[in-house]
Homo-oligomer: A and B are copies of this chain.
Amino acid sequence: MLQSKLFTKTRREAPKDEVAKNAELLVRAGYIHKEMAGVYSYLPLGLMVLKKIENIIREEMNAIGGQEVLMTTLQDPAIWEKTGRWDDKVVDNWFKTKLITGTDLGIANTHEEPLTDLLRGHINSYKDLPLYVYQFQTKFRNELRAKSGIMRAREFLMKDLYSFSRTEAEFKEFYEKCAVAYLKIFERAGIGAITYRTVASGGSFTKGFTDEFQALSSAGEDTIYVDKNRKIAVNKEVYNDETLQKLGLNKTEMVSEKSIEVGNIFPLGTRYSEALNLLFLDETGTKQPVIMGSYGIGLGRLIGTIVETLSDEKGIIWPESVAPFKIHLLSLAQGDGETKSAADNLYKTLTDKKCDVLYDDREARAGEKFNDSDLIGIPVRIVVSDKTVKANRFEMKRRTDTESKLVGIEEILKLA
């Protein structure tokens, strides 16, 4: 893409009320726009990152048998009343609205209830199970405070998968499969090294533990205790001698760290299936409630975590897997001539090879182009200048490197 055509501009400063590093950098680089506290629009570069994250997650959810749907934002209170979750005292972060006729409607903060209700029309027998349904859908949460940028937004895109199983054993088998898929997702998204499967409290759903996936970051709202050798962590909430003993962990090996919850998986048991009457006939002809589980990843939070943990003082550093482009090509040509032709030709060569390139063809000072490139954070920067053209070379630098090097065309084509 030609940068001269990209409508977004980089900015020196973030909005005054923005305190989170992730949103500050993403706004300044033109990835997102702050509509109000906790509400962000995705601009072209941001949407490219979001789509790449979405595709990684989709591939991994399909690989474990997930079937994708798209549920609705508007919610019928009747379904939620059956589980007791319509009440604002039970769920304190609802946004609600009304039909013109005055009827109350919910604005979805999660989708257990409507999906459980929907599946009553499609599940009858044990032969219809197990099944795994997921979606990428916007959630709305009426947060009192929203100061963590895109990491805790009032409106955000979430992948939520729900499992429907016949037995506890079948449920647990999938639960472990999904845990493995989650680690793959975080690995592919570039934060595998800092992300820990973390034992957490079961909350109101289960007496046992549940699992969170926590990425180490000083910007995190959570505290976890990490055994770095065994690559396992325990949430502060349940960090005590009893837990450590159960898990066979040693207090002296555990280090306290701040962290960001980038995903969670947890058993729902039969809480929703019983309340909403999602039953199946087992092999003996007896009606049984379906055993459910829930598996969430917030896409904005994942993007925010990547920015919080991988950026430097100059700007964002995207892993290639989620970067909006693979290569940032900077032309330092002054007007038309040999240098501009060389840059134009390289752009054409790379895009012909289906390589994603952002080509900074703007009439701007070299310093501005270098600063913008560091801020935007595309993994590889290639500079074409009078000097490089004279040497029949290109200047190449990875965003993570401090020094650039002169390389020939064959080196660059290896990237494509």
Contacts and interface: CB of A to CB of B under 8 A. Distances in A.
A67 B44 contact: yes
Nearest to A154: B74
Contact of A74 (B30, B35, B47): B35
A131 B75 CA distance: 37
Interface stretch (A116-124, A183-191, A385-393): A116-124
Nearest to A67: B44
Contact of A69 (B43, B69, B75, B155): B43
Contacts of A72: 35, 39-41, 155
A155 B74 contact: yes
A41 B69 contact: yes
A76 B7 contact: no
Interface residues of A, number: 56
A76 B36 contact: yes
Query: Counting chain B CB atoms within 10 Å of each CB, which of A36, A68, A93, A154 scores highest?
Result: A36
> In terms of DSSP, what is the predominant structure of the interface of chain A?
mixed
A114 B35 contact: yes
Interface string A240-261: 0000000000000000000000
Query: Counting chain B CB atoms within 10 Å of each CB, which of A47, A50, A69 scores highest?
Result: A69
The 9 A-B pairs at the shortest CB distance, nearest first, are namely A42-B70, A41-B71, A95-B97, A7-B131, A97-B97, A44-B67, A36-B76, A39-B74, A33-B118
Interface of A: 5-9, 11, 30, 33, 35-36, 39-44, 46-47, 50, 65, 67-76, 93, 95-101, 105, 107, 114, 118-119, 121-123, 128, 131, 133, 138, 140, 142-144, 154-155
Given A41-B114, A73-B138, A99-B154, 10 more contacts: A5-B65, A6-B67, A9-B121, A33-B121, A41-B69, A44-B69, A47-B68, A74-B95, A74-B140, A100-B142
11 contacts: A7-B123, A7-B133, A35-B72, A35-B114, A41-B69, A44-B68, A44-B69, A47-B68, A73-B155, A93-B100, A96-B97
